[in-house]
Amino acid sequence: MARQEKISKNLDWITVLLFIVCVTVGWFNIYAAIYNPENPLWIGDPGFFDTNAGKQLIWIGTTVLLIIAILVIDYRFYDTFAFIIYGFFMFMLVAVLLVGTEVKGSHSWFRIGGFQLQPAEFAKMATALALAKYVSTPLVNLTRFKDQFTVALIILVPPILILASHETGVALVFASFMILLYREGLPGIYPAVFLSTIILFVLSLIYEEWEIYIGLAVLAGIVILIMPRYERKTKNIITILGIAFVMGLFVTGVDWAINNVLQQHQRNRIKVLVDPDFDRKKTGYNVRQAKIAIGSGGLLGKGYLQGTQTKFDFVPEQSTDFIFCTVGEEEGFLGSLLVVGLFLGLLLRVAYLADQQKSRFARVYGYGVVSILFFHFMVNIGMTIGLMPVIGIPLPFFSYGGSSLWSFSILLFIFLKIDAHRTQVLSRW
């Protein structure tokens, strides 16, 4: 009993409160998304637990049990068995390819009775633990190629398996670990190359190839001209020209990759990002209706359960990927701002706690939590307002879905459990 009292005393209740508010507000928005004024089902009504809101209540209840289990388990368990947890979920990713159920073209689900479970969601947590375990190992140095290669291997295995099940959105989340690695000493050249690649990719969609070639040549010339005279050596000039040439090759490869690697629906989603009027009745329909829903909310919104775009099912997947549309339409700009502020508060709090950790394992894992939550938050809201392509990832703690709620809750509360023991030395059993 004393042990549990100590856990409750040291648990960061500010983060717990933010979590509870997110889940509660999320559930009310899920209910709003499925609400039918002609048949307003509520808790206790026949058929309520067949709706997304009813099922989400069940998932919330089971999430409480999971949280209790996480808080009861010894905090050293997560460090000691990090690689075993990672290996288990890699096995699950392979297993779902063999015996999983296909849902909307993605062969990444286990069906259990009337519920479905997606192991890819839990692989993010497992990868964060494995990275924290490896990076915190004595003598590991992220400036060395050997350690960089090992870290890249840990990160790349899950998305490769996830892509094999045709679940592109979840696979992209693993790119968020670049934030964690840079925080722990990865040379700045890697995030610089990563960001440059993204910028070049977007520019390749907007401009003609020859225009980008000219731009790269001009940019290389400017860099050479503004270099200090003592740095303007043949070797450095060749390096700059070489980088510009490689960038040009990448631009050439973008068009080929889009037309030969991506599937048709993925190509269409990219085209919608560049041209909002492209395929307005099919591929561009979701984004267009999402913008209409959010814009129609105005400053204060139409009021809870009063959203017309929601009630008449204009926005597909409104209780899952596009749940933020319900917030924008019914709660308006101010409500949306409060939700964004709620998420930013949670992210900043977890980042603050990560900085307070005495063990490197706890700090690295804490930043893994921040990286994953931030990526989901940024991309999900970005795609509902047309700033990001529609890649189908949930808004943490808001979107309907047991797998996402379980995985995000486990991800967060493992860190809170470790944080509750931050004054103790984190050592193996």
Q: Are 7 and 420 in contact, with CB atoms under 8 Å apart? A: yes
- The tens place of each residue's pLDDT in the chain, 429 residues long, gives 445 446 667 899 999 999 999 999 999 999 988 888 888 888 888 888 888 889 999 999 999 999 999 999 999 999 999 999 999 999 999 999 888 787 766 777 888 776 788 899 999 999 999 999 999 999 999 989 999 999 999 999 999 999 888 787 788 899 999 988 998 988 888 888 888 888 887 777 777 788 888 988 898 888 888 877 777 788 888 888 888 888 888 888 877 777 766 666 666 666 666 666 666 665 567 777 888 888 888 888 888 888 877 666 667 777 888 888 889 999 999 999 999 999 999 999 999 999 999 899 999 999 999 999 999 999 999 888 877 777 778 999 999 988 899 999 999 999 999 999 887 655 555
Task: Give 240-262 pLDDT, tens digit per residue.
Answer: 888 888 888 888 887 777 776 66
Do 29 and 142 sit in the same domain of this protein? yes
- Chosen domain end from 261, 291, 319: 261
Domain that holds residue 199: 192-261
Q: Which residues of 113-193 form beta strands (DSSP E)?
A: 115-117
Do 179 and 200 sit in the same domain of this protein? no
Cα distances (angstroms) measured from residue 50 to each of 125, 127, 296, 402, 418: 29, 33, 30, 14, 37
In a domain, 40, yes or no: yes
Distance separating alpha carbons of residues 171 and 159, to the nearest angstrom? 4
Distance separating alpha carbons of residues 161 and 168, to the nearest angstrom? 10
In a domain, 268, yes or no: no
In a domain, 177, yes or no: yes
Do 243 and 148 sit in the same domain of this protein? no
* Structure tokens that stand for 99 in this block: 């015996």
Q: Are 397 and 380 in contact, with CB atoms under 8 Å apart? A: no
Distance separating alpha carbons of residues 226 and 217, to the nearest angstrom? 14
Q: Are 159 and 136 in contact, with CB atoms under 8 Å apart? A: no
Do 220 and 101 sit in the same domain of this protein? no
Helices (H), 165-313: 168-172, 177-183, 189-206, 209-226, 234-260, 264-274, 285-296, 308-311
Do 285 and 398 sit in the same domain of this protein? yes
Distance separating alpha carbons of residues 127 and 372, to the nearest angstrom? 11
Do 239 and 286 sit in the same domain of this protein? no
In a domain, 424, yes or no: no
* Structure tokens that stand for 20 in this block: 């509870």
Contacts of 204 (CB under 8 A, 6+ apart): 212, 251, 254, 255
**CA 316-108-24 angle, 5° bins:** 55
Do 172 and 250 sit in the same domain of this protein? no
- Chosen domain end from 211, 228, 261: 261
Q: Which residues of 30-144 form beta strands (DSSP E)?
A: 101-103, 106-112, 115-117
CA torsion through residues 281, 287, 288, 293, sign: positive
Cα-to-chain-centroid distance, residue 51: 26
Q: 230-268 burial string, b = 16+ CB within 10 Å, else e?
A: eeeeeeeeeeebebbeebbebbeebeeebeeeeeeebeb
Do 114 and 249 sit in the same domain of this protein? no
Amino acid occupying residue 276? P
**CA 421-70-9 angle, 5° bins:** 40
In a domain, 274, yes or no: no
- Chosen domain end from 226, 261, 296: 261
In a domain, 406, yes or no: yes
CB atoms within 10 A of CB 334: 13
In a domain, 425, yes or no: no
pLDDT of residue 211: 84
Do 176 and 204 sit in the same domain of this protein? no
Specify the number of domains making up the chain. 2
